Amino acid sequence: MTWSIPPGARAFTVELARTGRHCNVAADETIVQALERIGVVVQTSCQEGICGTCLTTVIEGALEHHDQVLSDSERAAGDVMCLCVSRATSPRLVLDL
């Protein structure tokens, strides 16, 4: 894997709207890794923000995109993200999972 978490990344909380589960995403881990820690496996492939396998609908939260998949208009809309590389800039992120 060639992608790494950018310096200065901050921790935040992820909530899963369909199940009500939640977890903290530490500054040095990805959302995929944090969810795996609580037993939620997200379908992934490249884990570099290229393939789009982990695209997920966002219900609430401000985003910091690090993928190469989304268009400019999708980034601006802020309602979908790649969980393998992208992060929240708000303290709370709610996903359609």
Partner 1 sequence: MQAVRLSDTHLRIEQIADGVGLVHFNDYFGKGRSVDTEPQAFLVNLETPGALLKVHMHDVDQFQVATRGNGRIGAHDWQPVSVQYADAFTAYGPIVRGDLGLSFHTIRMAAGGGNWKMPEARSLMVNGRPGRNVTARVDPTQPLPPPGATTREYLVSPHDDGLAIAVLRLGPDARCDGLEPAGGQYLLVCAGALVQGDGELPTESLLLVRAGEPAPRLEAGPQGALLLVMQFPRPSARKGSDPSTMGNRAGSYVSVANHITPLNP
CA angle at 31 for the pair 26 and 66, rounded to the nearest 5°: 105
Q: Check binding of 90 to partner 1 (CB under 8 A).
A: no
Alpha carbon distance 50, 73 (integer Å): 17
Cα angle for residues 5, 34, 77 (degrees, 5° grid): 65
3-state secondary structure of 35: helix
Least distance to partner 1 from the beta carbon of 49, Å?
A: 9
> x/- site string to partner 1, residues 49 to 78, per CB under 8 A?
-xxxx-x-----------xxx----x----
Question: If you compute the radius of gyration of the chain from its CA atoms, what whole number of angstroms results?
Answer: 12
Candidate ranges 10-18, 47-55, 58-66, 89-97; the one touching partner 1 (CB under 8 A): 47-55
Q: Which residues pair with 58 in a beta bridge?
A: 95
Joined together, the tokens standing for residue 72 give: 């400019």
According to CB under 8 A, which one of 4, 24, 43, 89 is a site residue for partner 1? 43
Smaller CB separation from partner 1, 12 or 67: 67
Residue 4 engages partner 1 in binding (rule: CB under 8 A): no
Give the interface with partner 1 as residue ranges (CB under 8 A): 1, 43-48, 50-53, 55, 67-69, 74
